[in-house]
Amino acid sequence: MKALGFIAVLGTGLLLLAASRDFPNWGDPDSPASSYRLSRHFITETINETAVPNMVTAVLADYRGYDTLFEAVVIFTAGIAVIGILRRYGSRNSIPSARETPLTPKKPDLIVESTVRLLIPIIQIFALYVIAHGHHSPGGGFQGGVIFGASFILLALARDLKAAQNWVAEKRTLILACCGILIYAGIGVLCQFLGDNFLDYQILHRILPTDPVMARYHSILVVEIGVAFTVTAIMFSIYSNLSSNGKMKEGI
Amino acid sequence: MIDQAPAIVLLAPFLTAVLVVLVGMKYERACFPLVLLGLSFSVAAAVQTILQVVEAGTLRYYMGGWPPPFGIEFRIDGLNALVALTVSTVALISAVYSKNRVPEENGDKISIYYTLLLLVVTGLLGMVLTGDAFNLYVLLEVSALTSYALIAMGTRRATVAAFKYAIIGTIGASFYLLGVGYLYIKTGSLNMFDIHEVLVAEDLHRSTTVLVAFILITVGVWIKMAFFPLHAWLPNSYTFAPTTTSCLLGPLVTKVMVYVMIRMMLTVFDPVYTFVQLNWGDIVVWMAVIAILVGSLSALAQTDLRRMLAFLIVAEVGYMVGGVWLANTAGLVGAIYHLIADVFMTLCVFLFAGIVFAKTGKREITATHGLFAKMPLTMAGLAVGALSLIGIPPTAGFFSKWYLIQGGMASGHWGYVVALLISSLAMAVLFFRIFEYALFGVKPAEGHGDHHAGDQGKFSEASASILLPLMGTASLVLLIGIFNQSIVSIITDFLVQFNLADPMFR
Amino acid sequence: MTPPAIISITPVLASLVSLLAVIPIILLGRRSNLREGTSFVAGIVKFGLIASMLPTIMAGSTIEYTLWEIIPNLAIAFRVDALGMIFGLVASSLWIITTLYSIGYMRGLKEHAQTRFFSYFAVSLAATVGVAFAANLFTLFLFYEMLSLATYPLVTHHQDKEARSGGRTYLTYLLTASILFVLPSLIYIFIKTGGGLDFVAGGFLEGRIGGTEALVLLLLLTFGFAKAGIMPLHSWLPAAMVAPTPVSALLHAVAVVKVGVFCILRVYSGVFGIEFLSDLNLGVIVTWIAAFTVVVSSLIALTQDNLKRRLAFSTIGQLSYIVLGMALLTPKGVTGSMMHIAMHAWGKITLFFCAGAIFQATGKKYISEMVGIGKRMPVTMAAFFIGSLSVIGIPLAGGFWSKIYLLWGTVEDGQYAMLAVLLISSLLNAAYFFPIAFRAFFCKPEDSLFEAKVEEAHPCAVVALSLTAVVTMFLFIYPEPFFALADAAAQHLMNL
Amino acid sequence: MELLKAIVGGMNYWIFIILMMIGLYAMITKNNLVKKLIGMSIFQTSILLFFISLAVKEGATIPILHHDQAHAKQGDHGEGGKHSDPSHKGKEAASAIEEGKEKPSVSHAGSSKIDPDRFTNPLPHVLMLTAIVVGVSTLGVALSITQKLYTEFGTIEENEILDQLKSGDD
């Protein structure tokens, strides 16, 4: 098995290497990928067409917004999949809500708890900044969402899962995740109702007090927020399922 | 007013998936009607799309209003439209089937199951509709992740199979992604049609990179479609998953990957490149021959009903891959027609397996003992599916085999022709074995006894919600066979643009 | 030369009527009299429809109808000509009698699942008539396969282990041969000719394929239609004898096996064309294959003790007569072979009816157990004797005429070897039939294995078998309708 | 020399291929399920590296316009752009803007002001953002399957699981 695997891997590697001979050199500005009209258009026209300075954000959420929607769906799918695989409900139809799981502190470590208490707000504010500032600097819904989700995971790690669930119960995470997707897709559908293609944000200028280009600009922000919702919720959901082996009672 | 039908095909199941999660938390009973509604919308939109395609030719839908190659477009031609309609119809049928089965097989995760069902359909439809190579990867992963989860929801054997599937599937998807990357590095584009234009315009067909990209994409897709010898993940996955899952995934996943292969070979790379320049036809067709033989002969060796069907899928994949690589119109028409027909025949037999499991709780072929008297309608449904798989007119399976054999003869691949015939025989043996069990279970052997006329045994037909899908599928198999000319004409209209050399369609 | 074809839906109806009869048969499943009544009515309607076309055919015209063009240039189409007419008449008229016989047999034995029996019987007849009236190779193939499948539940009717293995052998042989040999040839011809598969009197392959291809196709098609029972693909027929006797009688003496030879006749005459075959001198090969089967099967029949198996091997031999006659490629041979379809059918069905009647009345299957039976069941055994005469080809029975023509055909072509084969096999036929009748009637009373209480079988069965026996004799006196049809067909096919 | 140049010039490809081989090897041959997943991560990450390295352009900066430039642009679209002081320029973007200014601007029709050679290709970044997400999701699902296997079999060694399946009936 090992030898066979090695041969297969070696074969794949050599195959890939064989092609790399006629690849452009590292950093070659004239490589087809960089010089093709696609890349050029994104660099030069993004600002005119969407008014977003961060081209990555603009391409992500507008030009290839459809792709990104399904990127969020992949996350959403993973969350649902993990629930499907792992989650074990105690009794039928009983997704516990926040009230049913009272906070049961288990001898919280003073230093850890204080640090966490200090850190979490900072992390969350930073997450919000990353989401909101995606137009102008590296960042956006995914990154911000992950950071935001991490804050809950940190809480769960420092205290226990119930403490974190006190904030975001299972039901709430699911609702949040769905809302995120619905915000994103909803904007797209709204565009359809206004008579344009799915996710063609510019038509929104009819209901927003802006011109078409700025309509794109603002929609991108809304869309990023939607993504952030989903990512936050699903990150935490996956974590809590994995750490409690689907019981959602006590974590690590 | 822009026509929204192509988008609705995909969006209906997708949005329903999200709604089902929300609604399912509170009103679990509302899930099923919602699923039905969403999928019906999808089917309706797919019908609308195909009518438009037939009427007005290729349909284009720009996501976000951005023209390609900057944005992502749906470019829907005859091939897309047909496969999309097939996928959504099958999803609808298997959703109906799952109504009563889900509570039994998936326990308390009813809404979760429905969500995953809708998401897998979304992923498959997205792959079919999209005109963007990278977008295809994303949707491939949507459908793959849901498949892993759906399978892992089964018995513990299924979990083991799901893990294997996850590993192998990821390798396949990653190969595909690498292939897209290799194309991107040479062309700088991601839109399938744009890539093709650049490849032709800059005469890139001779570069090693494009060759390697072709190999990567093809192998990646082969892994995903379980083309022999890359089929190791398939049999266990479909055997031990819940029947609701295998009814959904069994027919669809491999076929959609065949679609992707055809799309890549014809649209992205050029037929001239894939068929003439590479000249791999002989090798691949021989591989297909082996796949067909191994698949159908392994099926003969199985005692588990669904495992047997799973091996049939391996053989059927061989049919289609071989048909495509015959490199002539008849072969391609056969492969595409078979793709559509096979979805329904496979669904038919998997539904039968599901019903048998539901009624008897057994997985073995012997569980069909005496079913002819007890469940005549179910057996009739199976009979249609089985006859189609064997290839007996007027069921759909006959016509696809007809074209495939024609293609095989036209290009002189006699091995392929013989393999097709042998596999038909193997299937005949397989299904007649089932019929025998079903026929002889009623009355133990005693020659001619004192049984009076009208001795029918006790009827205990399956409940309507799992029987109706089978009946529906069986009639669809017949309808596809009877109206094969209109389907074939859509396919030939699609193939005309490629100017394939072919003596048969002068 | 030929009058223009008449477009009429009658052939389609003739085939469909028994298929449609299945619905009332199933619905009336619990009321056996009505159910069998339906079967009768369907049989009579079917026969009536076919007979109604007879004048047109006798006048030298044909009747055509295209039902549905499935794939461009490939249609399910019907055409009635003289050859098809012979076969259609025989099959449909015998269905009526067999229905009568089945009632007697099935009720006499209190068989189970009679509804299934009667419905599949009807389906089989639909397929048989479909084969008879098929206008092209494709339609022929369709109905051929339909017949294989429809008869499977009949063969395995008893549902015991023996029936199951018999059914398995049956299907394996028939399906394997047709799918492996016929289907590819069909598609190959389709490709070569660019679409047309319609039977044409002089064949349509001439000039389109070379000699080697023709030889391969000829062999593939000859063996592919395994229902014709040409050795070595004959083992299914003895295996199928596990079926209830009416099934063996109608299907394995008439419908199924005759479909096999009919297909071969059709292919030789309508696809290859007799001229083409004789130009390439391919007939000789087939005659030798058939001759081999004739002799060997007769020899095997001699060794069989089970009556039905003996009849089965006899059938195998008689089928090869028909193929042999066709392969002689002479007018008399072809006429003889076509007549033999009809003559053998009436004779052999009588024999099977008798075998069934004996079984039903006494439960005996083996010839060695039938000593002295003639005294207890005189009608049956008399009919048996007449049937034997016909099959052997001795005057006073219709089989004589067809055999004479076959012999004439060999002489016409100067194939004296074949003449010898036919004569030897006739002797063998006599050798395996006469002892049965002899021992039935002329044994010492103390050897008789039967007591006084044994009586004739169920009246329906007796009526049926007497009827066929009478017709067999009648055909000796008046072979005119079949002779005229066979002659017309031969004239047409040979382009005379 | 040629060889060396080829090796150095294609360094990114070498690295990605070696990483990919490590990952793939682990996925195929390792017995421990978690190790397989680690291999999977390495494999996927190597693809990320490959794509990202495509985007690199010598002398180009990250594909984000400087604040001022952005506002200047936005001004064209009626957003009342404020032209802020050039001294606030970010470090990376500064050169870009200066280069842009040096270019003879034929017209003020936006596109000519932005030199495509000054920015790296944004597309691979976008794609890889997606691929990262996909990778994480796959890992999450695969881990949860592993965990389910662990609860059911009490082990994450593949051969032990298979042994249990062989011996025990399901």
Residue to test with chain B: of C109, C152, C159, most B Cβ within 10 A: C159
Mean pLDDT of chain C: 83
Is chain D in touch with chain A: ≥3 Cβ pairs within 8 A? yes
Chain D nearest C-alpha distance from B124 (Å): 16
What pLDDT is recorded for position B30?
Answer: 85
d(C-alpha B378, C-alpha B462), whole Å: 8
Tally of CA atoms within 13 A in the half-sphere of C374 that contains its CB:
20
Query: Residue B83's pLDDT is what?
Result: 92
Task: Please give the full DSSP string across C421-465, using - where no structure is assigned.
Answer: HHHHHHHHHHHHHHHHHHHHHSS-GGG----TT-----HHHHHHH
A103 lies in a domain? Answer: yes
With a CB-CB cutoff of 8 Å, which residues 284-313 of chain B face chain A? Answer: none
Cβ atoms < 10 Å from Cβ of B401 = 29
* pLDDT recorded at residue D101: 41
What is the number of CB-based contacts under 8 A between chain B and chain D?
A: 77
Q: Is the pLDDT of residue A101 over 60?
A: no
Is there a contact between B409 and C191 if contact means CB atoms under 8 Å apart?
Answer: yes
d(CA D164, CA D155) in angstroms, rounded, equals 10
Q: Which position has the token pair 């049965």?
A: C436
Separation of alpha carbons C98 and C95, rounded Å:
5
CA-to-CA dists, residue C381 to A225, C250, C257, C372, angstroms: 97, 19, 25, 10
Are C184 and B485 inside 8 Å of each other by CB? no
For the stretch A150-174, pLDDT in tens is 999 888 888 778 778 887 888 888 8
* Least reliable range by pLDDT among A11-20, A203-212, C152-161, D3-12: D3-12
Residues of B whose CB is below 8 A from C178: none
List the strands of the sheet with C74-80, edge to edge: C6-7, C63-71, C74-80
When pLDDT is cut at 50, 70 and 90, the band that residue A128 belongs to is very high
Among A45, A68, A77, select the one facing D137 at the smallest CB separation. A77
**Going by C-beta distance under 8 Å and a sequence separation of 6 or more, which residues neighbour residue A119?**
A151, A154
CA distances from D32 to A244, D29, D37, D38, D161 (A): 22, 9, 9, 10, 10
Residue of chain B nearest D146, judged by CA positions: B163
Phi and psi at C330, nearest 5°, equal -115, 155
Q: How many inter-chain contacts (A to B, CB under 8 Å) are there?
A: 174
Contact check, Cβ <8 Å, C159/B448: no
Min mean pLDDT across A7-11, C43-47, C73-77 is at C73-77
Distance CA(C123)–CA(C437), nearest Å, equals 35
Nearest chain A alpha carbon to B108 = A92
Q: Nearest-CA residue of chain A relative to D148?
A: A86
List A residues 142-181 in contact with D (Cβ-Cβ < 8 A). Answer: 142
Q: A83 at the B interface (CB within 8 A)?
A: yes
Q: Which residues of chain C neighbour B443 with C-beta distances below 8 Å? A: 112, 159
- In B, which residues are within 8 Å of A84 by CB distance? 109, 112-113, 116, 149-150, 152-153
- Say yes or no: A81 contacts chain D, CB-CB below 8 A: yes
Rg of chain A over Cα atoms, rounded to whole angstroms, equals: 22
Residues of B in contact with A62 (CB under 8 A): 64, 66
Q: Cβ of B506: how many Cβ atoms within 10 Å?
A: 5
Which of A34, A66, A248 would you mutate first to test chain D, the one with the most D CBs within 10 A?
A34
Interface confidence (ipTM) of the complex: 0.82
D153·B240 Cβ contact <8 A: no
Give the pair of three-digit tokens for residue D159. Answer: 């051969």
Domain hosting A121: range is 55-244
- Among candidate residues C390, C376, C411, C367, the one with its CA nearest the CA of residue C469: C390
Helix (H) or strand (E) holding C134: none
Chain A residues in contact with B65 by the CB 8 A cut-off are 196-197, 199-200, 202-203
Cross-chain residue pair C187–B504, CB shorter than 8 Å: no
Which of A10, A59, A81 is opposite residue D141, by nearest beta carbon?
Answer: A81
pLDDT digits (tens, 9 = 90+) for A203-241: 888 888 888 888 888 888 889 999 999 999 999 999 888
> What is the per-residue pLDDT for D169?
53
Closest approach of chain D CAs to the CA of A141, in angstroms? Answer: 11
Work out the percent of chain C whose per-residue pLDDT is above 70: 96
**Side chain identity, residue A113:** E
Residues 20-79 in A contacting B (C-alpha not used; CB under 8 Å): 21-24, 31-39, 41-42, 62-67, 70-71, 73-74, 76-78
Question: Which of A12, A34, A69, A74 to mutate: most B Cβ within 10 Å?
Answer: A74
Q: Looking at beta carbons, which residues of chain A come within 8 Å of B198?
A: 36
Q: Do B157 and D170 touch (CB under 8 A)?
A: yes
Q: Do D142 and B190 touch (CB under 8 A)?
A: no
* Cβ <8 Å between A44 and D116: yes
3-class DSSP assignment, residue B200? helix
- Is A239 inside a domain boundary? yes
Q: Which CATH class is domain D2-56+121-167?
A: mainly alpha
Q: How many domains does chain A have?
A: 1
Residue A20 has pLDDT above 80, yes or no: no
Picking from B152, B167, B190, the nearest residue to D27 by CB comes out as B167
Mean pLDDT of successive 10-residue segments in chain B (506 residues)? 79 91 85 90 91 87 84 88 92 88 78 90 92 91 91 86 91 92 88 88 84 91 88 86 87 91 89 82 90 90 87 91 88 90 91 85 78 80 88 83 87 88 87 79 43 48 82 90 86 81 48
pLDDT along chain D (170 residues), means of 10: 72 86 90 91 91 83 73 50 39 41 40 71 88 91 90 86 76
Whole-Å CA distances, A134 to A120, A121, C496, D79: 21, 20, 93, 19
Say yes or no for a CB contact (<8 Å) between B453 and C32. yes
- Report the pLDDT value the prediction gives residue C125, as an integer from 0 to 100: 86
Residue C65 bridge partners (DSSP):
C78
Contacts of B26 (CB under 8 A, 6+ apart): none
Cβ(B244)–Cβ(B105) below 8 Å: yes
pLDDT in tens, A186-200: 998 888 888 888 888
**Looking at the complex, does the CB of residue A170 fall below 8 Å from at least one CB of chain B?**
no
Inter-chain CB proximity A18 and B208 less than 8 Å: yes
Chain B nearest-CA distance from A41, in A, is 8
Give backbone dihedrals phi and psi of C51, rounded to 5 degrees, phi first.
-65, -30
- 3-state secondary structure at position A89: coil
**Do residues B337 and B488 lie in contact, with contact meaning Cβ atoms separated by under 8 Å?**
yes
Domain assignment present for residue A25? The answer is: no
Residues with Cβ within 8 Å of residue A3, at least 6 apart in sequence: none
Residue type for position C241: M
Residues of B in contact with A185 (CB under 8 A): 11, 14-15, 18
C271 — pLDDT class (breaks 50, 70, 90): confident
Minimal Cβ distance to B166: which of D130, D142, D152:
D142
Q: Which residues of chain A make contact with B21, given a CB cutoff of 8 A?
A: 80, 174, 177-178
Query: Alpha helix locations (H) across B188-241?
Result: 192-201, 208-225, 234-240
Test B208 with A63 for CB contact under 8 angstroms: no
Q: Name C136's bridge partners.
A: C198
Task: Indicate the residue type of C431.
Answer: A
User: Domain limits of chain D?
Assistant: 2-56+121-167, 67-118
Would you list the domain boundaries of chain B?
280-446+455-506
Tell me whether D146 touches chain B (CB under 8 Å): yes
Interface residue A94 vs chain D (CB under 8 A)? no
Chain B residues 226-255 with a CB less than 8 Å from chain D:
240
Residue among D54, D62, D153, D162 with most chain A CBs within 10 A, to mutate: D54
Chain A residue numbers with beta carbons less than 8 Å from the beta carbon of D60 are: 29
Tell me: pLDDT of C442 over 50. Answer: yes
Question: Which among A19, A31, A93 has CB closest to B108?
Answer: A93
Q: Is A195 on the interface with B (CB under 8 A)?
A: yes
